[in-house]
Chains A and B, each alone.
Chain A
Amino acid sequence: MRDPTGDAATLWNILTSPTLLTVAAGAAVLGALSGTLGCFAVMRRQSLVGDAVSHAALPGIALVFLLTGTKSSLGLLIGAGIAGWLGMLAVLAITRTTRIPDDTALGVILATFFGLGLMLLTFIQKIPDANQAGLDTYLFGQAATLLREDVMLVSGAACVAFGLLGLFWKELKLVTFDREYARTVGFPVHGLEMLLTVLLVGAIVLGLRTVGVVLMSAMVVAPAAAARQWTNRFSRMVLLAGVFGGLAGTAGAIASSLVRHLPTGPMIVLIATGWAIASLFIGSAHGLAWRWLRMRLLQRKLAEEAVLVNLYELAEAHGDLEHPHGEGAIKALSPPNVSVPKALQVLKKQQLVRESAKGTWALTDKGIAEARNLRSKEGGKA
């Protein structure tokens, strides 16, 4: 970014460099995978499981390195997977056998495993001659180290996961919605839940290198939370979460390659969570902005109706339905939060009232009819 106007050719070179393409592809697939599986976790109220699994994976990575000295990603992944799985089993065991609620159990296990992982990492760093460089990338992730083989591995895993989700779609949806009922009709609920959990743990473990143990759970939760704001169908929610996760991965990879010293993992997470927060406001199905807007429109319509009826009743008291009244008189009858002048302007546009003199208003014939109509409706309700 030496030259802010930028050299188009340089930009193009960066965007098409094999390194960026590899990283962006890897991040996209990881984002799509964790986003998709995250929907099931979120709807089963297990969003925190991602957090436990990813933090619990750290000691697994460190132990595999200590015991074997390997830094091959597959070996470390297996260690991470086993430790993450154990962490999750520990949470389940605590909630099933004691009176400790699951969020507390998660907190305890997460801290225990993560503390153990940090201790082992520090220990490894103090060992003379140990070629430990790179292990700490698992903490915050380093997408730039993604190799073509890694992308192939992740893509293969994603194909398997998406295939299984497609194949057992209706069974998995039923188990997510109503597991007890699923058991009574004879589905192997434990097996199906196991499938979801294995896939989720797999996706988390695969994402650790890119996003890191600390932030990985956001990639499980954020795309699902965002997708929920845009649709009321579970199938579309899962698809959208996949798309959102994938786009966040790509966008994060591109952003960090364009700006020097911008880390990829946190960038991806920021984009995913930023979009989730934006979706809370602008999401087409549940966005707060739309709800607020609908409420405002309704309030305004009710205010206009109230002003029209008030004007009618004032005029009726005069024995002349077209008798004009000043704004002050109308205001005195209206609730304090109603903007009478604004309402009158709108009613004028609809030709329900006319301004007989400056600041004095009277009903039109159409307005009289409408006011009568509104009053009869109210009467009907009472």
Chain B
Amino acid sequence: MNQTIAVEVSDLTVAYQSKPVLWDVDLIVPQGVLMAIVGPNGAGKTTLLKAILGLVPVAAGQVRIFGKSLAEQRHLVSYVPQRGSVDWDFPTTVLDVVLMGLYRSIGWIRRPNKEHRRKALEALEKVGMAAFAHRQISQLSGGQQQRVFLARALVQQAELFFMDEPFQGVDATTERAIIALLQELRSKQKTVVVVHHDLQTVPEYFDWVTLINVRRIACGPVQEVFTEKNLRAAYGGRIAFFVERQAEGQK
């Protein structure tokens, strides 16, 4: 495996009103892996993502993106927020939202041109949403909303993707589209970090995993760290279904 380090987090601590949400978290994400962040509700998965992206104030610790600070590397980073984080009644079209992914590279004051629109359409094509380009965003289903957000991230041409629960409440078509996209990104040596909540699909979709529950429990290749012992440490006793499934697999 290519040993360039895409993300390095050290001693990261985040607190909301003196209550720790993340405590002294270290992790290393090599370039080119698909990494899942898993952990029980309230474990700080989304907070970890937001802290890496500089969206929440950090009490201590630091984040390096390809060896430099986030401020220097923002152009390499692309963020897919949770669907519910925006108002989908905002009066705009699908194409317009995807174009927002290009705003930074278009630069201040200047407007998107034909070439930008072409790129946005291409990204929509990749997520199977080209036919919806001129649709109002308020008319989309949850899965379609998710794919619009993915297209907006794709069009940025980033090296490193952060996705917050992209599989949450989406239809089968969208799930397949996301998986295909993840694999394409991996084949291009892009690095993807995904907040994920479905333990069963972790070994199938991802090759790297971080288990957290306020503290980091484990971080590494799925086959090495996605073990019953680590899961028990992260989830306590609440992983019965998973243990059974593993037992069946061993038979």
Contacts and interface: CB of A to CB of B under 8 A. Distances in A.
Contacts of B106: 170
Contacts of B77: 184
Contacts of B74: 184-186
A186 B75 contact: yes
Interface residues of A, number: 26
Contacts of A180: 50, 55, 79, 81, 85
A106 B55 CA distance: 25
A160 B166 CA distance: 42
Interface residues of B, number: 32
A177 B86 contact: yes
B243 to A, nearest CB: 37
Contact of B109 (A167, A183, A237): A167
Interface in A146-195: 167-171, 173-174, 176-178, 180-181, 183-187
B53 interface: yes
A338 interface: no
Nearest to A176: B90
A170 B103 contact: yes
Interface of B is mostly: mixed
Contacts of B112: 170
A233 B92 contact: yes
Contacts of A232: 91-93, 136, 138
Contact of A174 (B87, B100, B136, B156): B100
A374 interface: no
Nearest to A39: B91
B241 interface: no
A186 B104 contact: yes
Given A45-B87, A184-B53, A185-B79, 5 more contacts: A43-B87, A232-B91, A232-B93, A233-B91, A236-B91
23 contacts: A168-B108, A170-B103, A170-B106, A170-B112, A174-B100, A174-B103, A176-B90, A177-B87, A177-B92, A177-B100, A178-B81, A178-B85, A181-B81, A181-B100, A183-B53, A184-B53, A184-B74, A185-B104, A186-B104, A232-B92, A232-B138, A236-B91, A237-B91
Interface of A: 43, 45, 167-171, 173-174, 176-178, 180-181, 183-187, 228, 231-234, 236-237
